[in-house]
């Protein structure tokens, strides 16, 4: 069977279930802990913050497959299947014997993979009869995705947007408004936690951690609202597994077996989703594969953080999660790859990394933009800075193959487009790009403040 240049599944071939990688992990990710008692969070405790069905998914370490509800499948059909593309032009440019594939999740108005979980979370909120949801957004992809999903299901949507992104990406706000969401720069004076952070750090440009605190406070203090999160959580990785399942169906159809799978990692939603079914095969001992998380050198939670219980948010109102973390009050340098500015990492990916099932590398920002531009010129797509971390690592891997002569099959996740990141591209063109990396002393100081559990 001839392999097409771009593989699109037909509607009948598309995944009808999400895959829960926890079911195949012998050692499960550590449970979320109640920040007061340090005991595992119960479903009852979590249900004040999250929808009931999402709480169930969050805590379920055993069910391997979740059927995707018909309403969500209908929404998925609006922008899925996403193409699996053979990067012939990139291979030629790199003169590599490697075969490079990418799964492109940017062909929807949110501009990224985030829509996969947004629609699921909005659907369950609607099913539960809620009025609306609150959330945070970094670069804006998640907020846009959630706005689209809420508009579709007729839910109110309140978004706290990390201030640096709110200011650098004003157009993202307008897209969210097109879909009827309200958008507040974070930290803000609309919440107790926001006011406290502003008082302690008056000039702060914000962080995902702050914005999460504000969104959670708003959800629990408004009846009929729940909080939803675009990454980190087990439920999000479950929904995002649609990326990996779709990729695997496409690859299996043509007998393609990746030797290495690469994804950018901020909170871990894309990487966790992309690798899920392939990691399942590895965990079950059926087929081996390397997995590489790529994070920014400015926010290196896996490569330089510690594996410990920590707060998911700066305001310390959320449950504690065991994860690779830089400390919940670590505020990264204003890094234009906004979506990867999170201090921690998905507990699932953290545990897999701890078990040695997953590798991690960190890359400096300028090198990421160089890779982004090189990719754009040969493959046509203008990539998001976040996604470009994966491009950079995939190119490095392909160059190693050129040196060793190995004909590896490399798969990477191209999570989104960079149409809203042109301020960053402009800085790159003007030589104003910041390559700040935190010092060991800084990281040690943050780590010393981790909760003692």
Give the interface segment with its own copies, choosing from 166-174, 217-225, 338-346, 398-406 (CB under 8 A): 166-174
Closer residue to its own copies (CB): 22 or 80: 80
Of the candidate residues 13, 92, 174, 442, the single one contacting its own copies (CB under 8 A): 174
Residues 400-439 that bind its own copies (CB under 8 A): 417, 419-420, 422-423, 425-426, 429
| Cα torsion angle, 99, 358, 237, 148, sign | negative
Closest alpha carbon to 325 in 342, 340, 344, 341 = 344
Identify the residue whose tokens are 């846009």: 144
Of the candidate residues 38, 377, 400, 449, the single one contacting its own copies (CB under 8 A): 377
Closer residue to its own copies (CB): 152 or 278: 152
Peptide bond into 187 cis (omega under 30): yes
| Site for its own copies contains 78 (CB under 8 A) | yes
| Cα first-last separation, the chain | 55
| Site for its own copies contains 373 (CB under 8 A) | yes
Peptide bond into 85 cis (omega under 30): no
| Contact by Cβ (8 Å): 151, 110 | no
| Site for its own copies contains 77 (CB under 8 A) | yes
Closer residue to its own copies (CB): 42 or 74: 74
Q: What character string, x for contact with its own copies (CB under 8 A) and - otherwise, covers 145-164? A: ---x--xx------------
Strands 182-186 and 99-104: unpaired
| Cα torsion angle, 391, 397, 403, 404, sign | negative
| Site for its own copies contains 380 (CB under 8 A) | yes
| Site for its own copies contains 175 (CB under 8 A) | yes
CA–CA dist 117, 149 (Å, integer) = 9
Token code pair at residue 28: 């499960």
The SS3 call for residue 392 is helix
| Site for its own copies contains 10 (CB under 8 A) | yes
Of the candidate residues 38, 42, 64, 178, the single one contacting its own copies (CB under 8 A): 178
Q: How far is the CB of 238 from its own copies (least distance, A)?
A: 22
The SS3 call for residue 378 is helix
Closer residue to its own copies (CB): 8 or 307: 8
Give the interface segment with its own copies, choosing from 43-51, 344-352, 356-364, 379-387 (CB under 8 A): 379-387
Of the candidate residues 249, 367, 378, 437, the single one contacting its own copies (CB under 8 A): 378
Residues 6+ apart with CB under 8 A from 285: none
Q: Is 423 exposed, middle or buried (0-12, 13-18, 19+ CB in 10 A)?
A: middle
| Site for its own copies contains 382 (CB under 8 A) | yes
Q: How many residues bind its own copies (CB under 8 A)?
A: 41
Which H/E stretch holds residue 280?
helix 269-283
Q: Which residues bind its own copies (CB under 8 A)?
A: 4-6, 8, 10-11, 77-79, 89, 107-109, 111, 148, 151-152, 170-171, 174-175, 177-180, 373, 376-382, 417, 419-420, 422-423, 425-426, 429
């Amino acid at each position: 069977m001839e392999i097409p240049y771009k593989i699109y599944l037909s509607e009948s071939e598309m995944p009808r279930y999400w895959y829960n990688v926890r079911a195949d992990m012998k050692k499960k990710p550590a449970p979320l802990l109640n920040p007061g008692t340090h005991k595992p969070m119960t479903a009852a405790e979590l249900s004040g913050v999250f929808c009931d069905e999402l709480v169930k998914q969050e805590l379920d370490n055993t069910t391997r497959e979740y059927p995707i509800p018909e309403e969500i499948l209908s929404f998925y059909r609006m922008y899925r299947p996403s193409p699996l593309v053979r990067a012939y032009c990139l291979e030629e440019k790199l003169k590599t014997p490697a075969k490079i594939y990418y799964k492109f999740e940017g062909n929807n108005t949110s501009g990224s993979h985030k829509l996969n979980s947004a629609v699921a979370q909005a659907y369950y909120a609607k099913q539960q009869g809620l009025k609306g949801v609150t959330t945070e957004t970094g670069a804006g992809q998640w907020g846009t995705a959630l706005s689209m999903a809420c508009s579709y299901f007729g839910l109110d949507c309140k978004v706290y947007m990390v201030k640096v992104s709110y200011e650098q990406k004003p157009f993202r706000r307008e897209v969210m408004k097109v879909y009827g969401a309200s958008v507040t720069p974070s930290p803000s004076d609309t919440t107790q936690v926001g006011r406290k952070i502003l008082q302690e750090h008056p000039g702060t440009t914000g962080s995902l951690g702050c914005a999460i605190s504000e969104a959670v406070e708003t959800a629990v203090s408004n009846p009929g609202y729940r909080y939803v999160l675009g990454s980190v959580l087990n439920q999000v990785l479950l929904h995002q597994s649609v990326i990996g399942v779709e990729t695997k169906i496409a690859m299996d159809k043509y007998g393609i077996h990746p030797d290495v799978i690469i994804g950018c990692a901020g909170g871990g939603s894309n990487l966790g989703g992309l690798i899920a079914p392939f990691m399942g095969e590895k965990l079950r001992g059926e087929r081996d594969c390397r997995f590489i998380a790529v994070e920014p050198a400015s926010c290196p939670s896996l490569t330089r953080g510690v594996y410990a219980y920590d707060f998911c948010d700066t305001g310390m109102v959320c449950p504690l999660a065991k994860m690779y973390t830089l400390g919940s009050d670590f505020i990264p340098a204003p890094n234009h790859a906004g979506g990867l500015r999170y201090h921690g990492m998905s507990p699932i990916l953290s545990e897999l990394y701890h078990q040695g099932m997953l590798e991690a590398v960190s890359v400096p920002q300028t090198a990421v933009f160089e890779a982004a531009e090189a990719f754009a010129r040969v493959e046509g797509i203008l990539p998001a800075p976040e996604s470009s971390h994966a491009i950079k690592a995939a190119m490095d891997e392909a160059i190693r193959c050129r040196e060793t002569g190995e004909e590896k099959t490399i798969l990477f996740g191209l999570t989104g487009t960079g149409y809203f990141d042109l301020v960053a591209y402009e800085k790159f063109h003007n030589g104003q790009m910041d390559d700040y990396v935190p010092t060991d002393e800084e990281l040690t100081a943050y780590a010393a403040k981790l909760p003692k559990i």
